[in-house]
Amino acid sequence: MFNDKPFAEVNREERFYCFLIAHAMLSSQPTRQNLVELIRNRNGIVLAPEQLQVFVEAAALRDYWNDLGDPVIYDEQTHLQRLRTLQIILAEVGVSPEELDKHDVFWTSAARKKLWNPGRWDIEALKATGLIPTGQQSERKNSTLIDVKWAFNAKPDLMIVSPGTVLLIEAKVEAGEGREGSGYEQYRIQELITKLLKLLVPRFAVSNFRNLVLARRAGDLSWADVVATVTDDVDQFTRDCLLNAVGTNKVMPL
């Protein structure tokens, strides 16, 4: 039988704590100022506290792709925009844009009228094209089409947008870096996300992108330091959850 603790005391979900941090930043000017100062002093990243946009689990590449046009109905203008986008992406990872016309993996049907969102590419079909370098993924210096697929599916825990700066934060409550046997490396994919956003989104072309890890002990930021920026004007539930998480060693002991 389980104990009778409130769920807030046993919750271990990273996105929950990220939601609380985002809520605290947006609802409290003092908290926002404190956190901006912490990031500047600790990591040298300058953010404008009164002009922040804060997103939780931001799938930016996926959503900008979807914004190109209706994902169901064929439209020539939408097709041309998707085609141009994929040509830029392929060139970035060292693949000739002409390969799009040679392989079914990029198309939603044999008729080849609509292009897949890269997040929908089949990994085994990509490997079968011969466009993926062989060897250990960890030894590669350049991104591949498989990395592009992961970049379109990835959701950095927090994306903070400030004039001229975009900060992507990967938060870890208990787990370490996300990795898979197929070669997926979470932090490296975040770096590819920033490259593609600068290439594909005009408003981000001149932005300074930074990637940080928010972790228990080993990271660019510690949960204890971030929680300490939350001020008393934030609602009681948020403060209790964050303080409880720190105090019970679920995140990091004081």
Q: Which residue has the tokens 């603790």?
A: 5
Q: Which amino acid, residue 145?
A: L
Domain ranges of the chain: 7-59+156-180+206-247, 63-152
Distance CA 68, CA 75 (A): 10
Per the structure block, which two tokens stand in for 152? Answer: 């379109």
Q: Taking Cα atoms as reference points, which of 148, 161, 160, 144 lies closest to residue 116?
A: 148
With cut-offs at 50, 70 and 90, classify the pLDDT of residue 54. Answer: very high
Residue 2, pLDDT score: 93
At residue 180, does pLDDT exceed 60? no
Whole-model pTM: value is 0.87
At residue 44, does pLDDT exceed 50? yes
DSSP state string for 48-95 = -GGG-EEEES--HHHHHHHTTS-SSS--HHHHHHHHHHHHHHHHHTT-
Query: In percent, how much of the chain has pLDDT > 90?
Result: 69
201 versus 142: the higher-pLDDT residue is: 201
CB contact set of 86 (below 8 Å; sequence gap of 6+): 97, 100, 106, 115, 118
205 versus 245: the higher-pLDDT residue is: 205
Per the structure block, which two tokens stand in for 101? Answer: 């016309």
Residue 174, pLDDT score: 63
186 versus 102: the higher-pLDDT residue is: 102
Q: For 118, which DSSP code?
A: G
At residue 113, does pLDDT exceed 60? yes
At residue 253, does pLDDT exceed 50? no
Residue 250, pLDDT score: 47
Buried b (16+ CB within 10 A) or exposed e, 36-59: bebbeeeeebebebeebebbbebb
The rounded mean pLDDT for the chain is: 88
With cut-offs at 50, 70 and 90, classify the pLDDT of residue 245. Answer: low
With cut-offs at 50, 70 and 90, classify the pLDDT of residue 160. Answer: very high
Count of residues making up the chain: 254
CB contact set of 142 (below 8 Å; sequence gap of 6+): 93, 94, 133
Q: Taking Cα atoms as reference points, which of 213, 212, 196 lies closest to residue 204?
A: 196
With cut-offs at 50, 70 and 90, classify the pLDDT of residue 143. Answer: confident
With cut-offs at 50, 70 and 90, classify the pLDDT of residue 37. Answer: very high
Edge-to-edge strands of the sheet including 158-162?
A: 53-56, 158-162, 165-171, 208-215, 221-222
With cut-offs at 50, 70 and 90, classify the pLDDT of residue 216. Answer: confident
Residue 243, pLDDT score: 81
With cut-offs at 50, 70 and 90, classify the pLDDT of residue 141. Answer: low
pLDDT in tens, 165-174: 999 999 887 6
CB contact set of 127 (below 8 Å; sequence gap of 6+): 146
